[in-house]
Amino acid sequence: MSARRLIVSADDFGAASEVNRAVERAHRDGVLTNASLMVTGEAAPDAAAVARRLPRLGVGLHLVLAQGTPAAPRDRIPRLVRADGRFGDAPVMSGLRYAWLALGRAGARQLRAEIEAQLDAFSRTGLVPSHVDGHLNLHLHPMVLPTLIELAPRYGIRAMRLTREPLARAIRYDGRHVLRRPAEGAVFAALARFAAPRLRAAGIAVPRRVYGMHQTGEVDARYLQALLADLPEGTSEVYCHPAVSAAQALTRQQRGYANACELAALTDPTVRAAAHARGVDLVSYHALTA
């Protein structure tokens, strides 16, 4: 086994058929090894069927607490959803709202009920969970993570994404977004400091590094090749958002994403060749807990 391993993940599996087709193609014909399932996505049943056709694809839960539909009945979680029955769209406001709600017993119970409902929905697919992560990385929210850790043994969760990415490397690769990147880097560095010791104490495995956050929607072949060129020892993850074409279900939340270009990067033969040349094993999250 190589000293360097890379999990190549696709988020939003199940959100739309365009994403599902990209996941299947990128796994069969490219370097994709893992996908994160939105259990309430409009194409979630199709995604589960795709996953069952791909036994070597790792599939985990993509916990959705913003920009999506809940799994619990609306009358069980009235404080978490808008009048239309959906979560709010703004991630920062959603995070602040959950922090406030969780201070009260009713809000905390409703948040737990929704997390359990999504874990239950994943269990009903019959898939073995590779890990848990979160849409917009809200699984690391201080009012969400402790519940996930508590429930992990019941649902066979043995790994989670610990999102934090070296800022200097991201800026060196791509000098754009100079205002956004330091802000998101600081937020997730703080969340990682909160999460890491708790995950370690619970025996939940995490990748050594996670890449892709600062390059969201713009992961191309050149980026993957640069990543492979200086990948550290241990198991790292890079996550992206491929789709065969722009999906209507994701139009509002993925403005400016080059989804088809990300699929092209994942299936570019030069990327697999670069992994082989650098001695990097492409693995799923299951390798973290094998």
pLDDT in tens, the chain (290 residues): 569 999 999 999 999 999 999 999 999 999 999 999 999 999 999 999 999 999 999 999 999 999 999 999 999 999 999 999 999 888 778 877 887 777 678 888 999 999 999 999 999 999 999 999 999 999 999 999 999 999 999 999 999 999 887 776 766 767 666 667 777 888 888 999 999 999 999 999 999 999 998 888 889 999 999 999 999 999 999 999 999 987 777 877 776 788 889 999 999 999 999 999 999 999 999 999 86
Rounded Cα distance between 269 and 226, Å, is: 15
CA gyration radius, the chain: 18
- The kind and range of the H/E element at 7 are strand 4-13
Q: What is the DSSP letter of 205?
A: B
Q: What is the dihedral of CA 78, 80, 82, 87, to 10 degrees?
A: -140
- The kind and range of the H/E element at 46 are helix 44-53
**Six-digit token pair at 159?**
């790994």
Q: Which amino acid is at 283?
A: V
Domains and CATH numbers, the chain: 4-289 (3.20.20.370)
Q: How many Cα atoms occupy the beta-carbon half-sphere of 144 within 13 Å?
A: 25
